[in-house]
Structure 1
Amino acid sequence: MKNNNIPSQNYQGNDRLLLGIFLAVITFGLFAQTILNIATTIRVDLGIDVNASNIAVSAAALFSGIFIVVIGGFGDRFGRIKITKIGLVLSIVGSLIIAISPKETAVFLFAGRIFQGLSTACILPNALAVIKAYYEGASRQRAISIYSIGSWGGAALSSLFGGIVASTIGWRYIYWFSIVVAIGSFFLISGVPESKNPPSDKKRGFDLAGIITFMIGMLSVNILISQGGRLGWSSPMSLRLAAIVVISFLIFFKIEKSTKDSFINFNLFSNSTYKGAALSNFMVNGAAGTLVVALSLVQLGADMTALQAGFLTIGYPIAILIAIKAGEKLLQRYGARKPMVLGCVVASVGILMTTFTFMMTSQYIIVSTIGFAFFGFGLGLYATPSADAALTSIPVEEAGSASGIYRMASALGSAFGISISAAIFTGLSMKQITFVEGFFMGRTDNISIRYAAIIALLFNLFMVMSAIISILLTVPVGKSETKA
């Protein structure tokens, strides 16, 4: 069934548009995500504090998560192509700010990451909504796979790519390359007919109160998670932040339930398939801390460079790119549930293998490399079925806002996963650990770091195992019906 978007009823998506979408998505998936591996390199080069670095790393995902739903809704109202192009401009600005960051200050890095987060909030939901509007059936599933390759595959390649560039020509070139790619994407999607909802006599309000309370709550919880260990979890500041989090979200839920034009449409969650896709997406992305912890471990505990650490993930991007197409085929044959669960199980095995930090460095390199390949293959199997389940279960009129909520789950899951993992790893690695000395092989001067990595990585394993439970409870067996 054809959608009723205007003014492009007869327009069909083509490979030029798909390439433009792919390039737009990798400005975040590939380029912005490189910081997960090169954060230590950037921190040392700029001469900034580790806490400031951790905040900057999670800032993009945090700001993306805060604004992605409302900006996705803007795409429905004002044009999905237009908002995507605005996102590309923001990506250019953010990359430029980071590329010219002066030493001895984290302000430019932090500001650039905020722009990257806002860019992501524009691009990811609206690019997905454009796919919903302009591709159908098998073509849509293929387009989602390309989108997933840019998002998941780009993120998978980011560690190795970032390590190679940072260790050869310098980390700043990553962001110059990102600017070139964003410009290319901008021109490829220019001229595509606009996709937006038909005009309506009904005047829609703007849920400013809901957005503000949501933002306050999200900022407070992120600061609490990332800085709680340094401030002291029972300190007056931490307790005040916790109180702000609880009060803000209670007010937010009350506002959203009573506001007619709320920026988060909770009615979407009455659809079991959509709810399962969004919830599991949050939890799976919560395992993003696996990369941060494992790569930081080998750099801090085994004196490896960012490039050497990046090579541990060499099987990760290969596996994820292969598995994305495999996930598409499994989706077409079995529906979304089976490949989503299978992907999470395989990813769990991979994360578990990265927890074997008790081994000698030479052994851990082999095991963790295999583990990253399993992790990537699992994520690849999960990616397309999850996105397709979310898209096919909602009407096209709500494609932008629904895609925004789905992508918000990704961004917030990643932000929380990275922040919590980094907080656990940083906090425990600073403590003197002696009760497990006999458990670890080889060096004894880095036991605290290795122990901290195990606990932080087990948190990531918990997130993926929780995703399996959520899928089994919400996503039905078999193929879902596509809604136009």
Structure 2
Amino acid sequence: MSSNTAAVKSATGWKPTDRWLFGIVLAVINFWLFAQTLLNVIPGIQDELGIERTVGNLAVAVTSLFSGIFIVVAGGLADRIGRVKILNAGIVLSIIGSLLIALTPADGGVVTSIMLLLGRAVQGLSAACVMPSSLALIKAFYEDKQRQRALSFWSIGSWGGSGFCALFGGLMATSFLGWRSIFWISIVLSIVAMFLLRGTPESKAPAAPGAEHKRFDWSGLICFIIALVALNVYISQGPSIGWLSITGTVLLVLFVVFGILFFQLESTKSNSFVDLKVFGNLTFTGATVSNFLLNGAAGTLIVALGLVQVAAGFSSLQSGLLTLGYLIAILSTIRVGEKLLQRLGPRKPMIWGCLITGFGILMCSMTFVLVEQYVILAFIGFTLFGIGLGFYATPSTDAALANVPADQAGAAAGIYKMASSLGNAIGVAISAALYVAAQSVDPEFVQSLGLFVGNQENLGLRFGGAVGLLFNLLMVMVAVISIILTVPRHRTKAEEEAHPEVPAPPPIGN
């Protein structure tokens, strides 16, 4: 516990209660459960609002994009000006973002697109504020086993919300309340969260020597934003604007130029908002890269669920039910991953988790079969997806954070979490773009493959779905390679110092 927080507790007698912790969970779940429902309900929203598929795909990806861009900045602000202030700001932004989406008019042309995209961007900013500040408050106000318990509830809000979002979104979208009810409910729960968290004493990080004289790295942030937004727009809008059109080429040039400029600035500045020095640790690098790629595999959800809705006529609720096994699996195996970490170290469970996830995606990519067969394959595939992520999650986080020096722990945590959001944004955008682009392939070529059975009128959709899903499998395989090359077979000295109570794994296997 920080001395600052200890002083606050001593002066006020305040201590966190289960009611307060429930407020934290509600704040977290507003992003993972409500904001992420668009992965499943976007086809219905596109039809009702009268927007292009490319705009819908951008609306799905932009929330994670903005979360990833600003999460490091928000975490730093929370440490400096107050974690409670930033947490409350995040909850208010969640209300504003949900309100914009709930009030988005149908068939309003540019107005419709702007309100939807702006609402999604604000939801991303909300997540960037809520996630690091809520974690920092839990670490500040709890100790030892109570902290572990609180973090478990935090994880249930995030992992459980992400596992339940497709099913919940489908249920609400097909009910008499409609998809807009998702965001009205989010507003109500945000207000409840603010009520439960009222009276929380402020918490700040101790000021580092000379920190008051450092100016914020605005140039690095601006370059980062331009590069990532240009890349995301190019990927999501590529099918409509043309991959090699003037607009597409300009977007690519912006990404390359500002991306290079960003790395040059961050490599030379002492006040860089992304501390690139942490990538000098190979284990951290491997864990972060694989985390980026595994989160990118969320594109599996938008492609597979969108495919069964469009090609097979499923409702958003029916498609959401395909992820029920995913929800159960991911919640029930997170602790298994923790135990495997303690017994074997991080490398093996991370690799096993990726391989299980990859096999699940492979099953989801078998779009050449009949609908009845695909439903079974997809349900099993999503369940394996959840098991794999459950195995991977805790060992990956431990590998990333246990291997960096204490004075880089904050920067490392922010970058690792940023990789999650950016991986999700970019993976979803690429998967959706490939899904759309591959549908224009000559049907005669697809038929000549001799793979697709059943209805031949939706070959384009099914082929596009296979291409989009197989890209996710490729990302998982690259993640496996990154782990093999960077994460050591045995516990490092840094891990042993961080976890002296955990015995080193026996030197068996690979």
User: Aligned partners of 1:443, 1:88: CA distance in 2, in Å?
Assistant: 47
Give CA-to-partner distance per residue, 1:134-191, whole Å, 9 cap, x none.
Answer: 4455554444433332222211110010000110021111111111222232233333
Choose from 456, 466, 470 the match for 2:468: 456
Aligned counterparts, 1:36-55, within 5 A: 36-55=39-58
Shift of residue 441, structure 1, vs aligned partner: 1.0
Amino acid of the structure 2 residue aligned with 1:447: L
Shift of residue 400, structure 1, vs aligned partner: 4.9
Choose from 63, 67, 73 the match for 1:64: 67
- In structure 2, the residue matched to 1:89 is 92
- Decide whether aligned partners of structure 1 residues 393 and 86 sit closer, same or farther in structure 2, where only a CA change above 3 A counts: farther
- In structure 2, the residue matched to 1:195 is 203
- Decide whether aligned partners of structure 1 residues 362 and 442 sit closer, same or farther in structure 2, where only a CA change above 3 A counts: same
Equivalent pair of 1:92/1:179 in contact (CA under 8 Å) = yes
User: Aligned partners of 2:313, 2:56: CA distance in 1, in Å?
Assistant: 19
- Decide whether aligned partners of structure 1 residues 259 and 173 sit closer, same or farther in structure 2, where only a CA change above 3 A counts: same
Amino acid of the structure 1 residue aligned with 2:264: K
Q: Please give the TM-score of this superposition, normalised by the length of structure 2.
A: 0.89
Shift of residue 395, structure 1, vs aligned partner: 6.3
Give CA-to-partner distance per residue, 1:355-379, whole Å, 9 cap, x none.
Answer: 1111100010011111111101111
- In structure 2, the residue matched to 1:403 is 413
Query: 1 or 2 for the larger relative contact order (CA 8 Å, sep ≥6)?
Result: 1
Give CA-to-partner distance per residue, 1:61-109, whole Å, 9 cap, x none.
Answer: 1111221111111122122232122111100111111111111122221
Aligned counterparts, 1:38-437, within 5 A: 38-104=41-107, 105-168=112-175, 169-200=177-208, 202=210, 203-394=213-404, 400-437=410-447
Equivalent pair of 1:149/1:324 in contact (CA under 8 Å) = no
Amino acid of the structure 2 residue aligned with 1:221: L
Shift of residue 469, structure 1, vs aligned partner: 2.0
**Secondary structure of 2:498 counterpart:** coil
1:478 and 2:491 matched = yes
Larger mean CA deviation between 60-69 and 114-123 belongs to: 60-69
**Secondary structure of 1:206 counterpart:** coil
- Decide whether aligned partners of structure 1 residues 78 and 271 sit closer, same or farther in structure 2, where only a CA change above 3 A counts: farther
Equivalent pair of 2:55/2:237 in contact (CA under 8 Å) = no
1:439 and 2:451 matched = yes
Shift of residue 287, structure 1, vs aligned partner: 0.2
Larger mean CA deviation between 398-407 and 65-74 belongs to: 398-407
Amino acid of the structure 2 residue aligned with 1:152: W
Equivalent pair of 1:349/1:371 in contact (CA under 8 Å) = yes
Equivalent pair of 1:126/1:403 in contact (CA under 8 Å) = no
User: Aligned partners of 1:460, 1:68: CA distance in 2, in Å?
Assistant: 24
Shift of residue 19, structure 1, vs aligned partner: 2.5
User: Aligned partners of 1:151, 1:367: CA distance in 2, in Å?
Assistant: 26
Amino acid of the structure 2 residue aligned with 1:76: D
- Decide whether aligned partners of structure 1 residues 389 and 189 sit closer, same or farther in structure 2, where only a CA change above 3 A counts: farther
Choose from 481, 487, 501 the match for 1:469: 481
Larger mean CA deviation between 26-35 and 79-88 belongs to: 79-88
User: Aligned partners of 1:177, 1:316: CA distance in 2, in Å?
Assistant: 24
Equivalent pair of 1:163/1:307 in contact (CA under 8 Å) = yes
Shift of residue 275, structure 1, vs aligned partner: 2.5
Give CA-to-partner distance per residue, 1:5-63, whole Å, 9 cap, x none.
Answer: 55558787664443333222111111100011000111111122222211111111111
Give CA-to-partner distance per residue, 1:219-248, whole Å, 9 cap, x none.
Answer: 111111112232222222222221111110
Larger mean CA deviation between 260-269 and 384-393 belongs to: 384-393
User: Aligned partners of 2:362, 2:156: CA distance in 1, in Å?
Assistant: 24
User: Aligned partners of 1:338, 1:253: CA distance in 2, in Å?
Assistant: 32
Equivalent pair of 2:296/2:475 in contact (CA under 8 Å) = yes
- Decide whether aligned partners of structure 1 residues 99 and 407 sit closer, same or farther in structure 2, where only a CA change above 3 A counts: same
Amino acid of the structure 2 residue aligned with 1:100: L
1:21 and 2:29 matched = no
User: Aligned partners of 1:334, 1:13: CA distance in 2, in Å?
Assistant: 35
Equivalent pair of 1:153/1:321 in contact (CA under 8 Å) = yes
**Secondary structure of 2:313 counterpart:** coil
User: Aligned partners of 2:310, 2:152: CA distance in 1, in Å?
Assistant: 36
Larger mean CA deviation between 462-471 and 217-226 belongs to: 462-471
- Decide whether aligned partners of structure 1 residues 304 and 115 sit closer, same or farther in structure 2, where only a CA change above 3 A counts: same
- Decide whether aligned partners of structure 1 residues 339 and 127 sit closer, same or farther in structure 2, where only a CA change above 3 A counts: farther
Larger mean CA deviation between 55-64 and 427-436 belongs to: 427-436
Higher Rg of the two aligned structures: 2
Q: Percent identity?
A: 50
Equivalent pair of 1:65/1:412 in contact (CA under 8 Å) = yes
Gaps of 5+ in 2: 500-510
Residue correspondences, number: 482
Backbone CA RMSD of aligned residues = 2.2
Give CA-to-partner distance per residue, 1:386-410, whole Å, 9 cap, x none.
Answer: 2344444456765554332122101
User: Aligned partners of 2:44, 2:451: CA distance in 1, in Å?
Assistant: 31
**Secondary structure of 1:435 counterpart:** helix
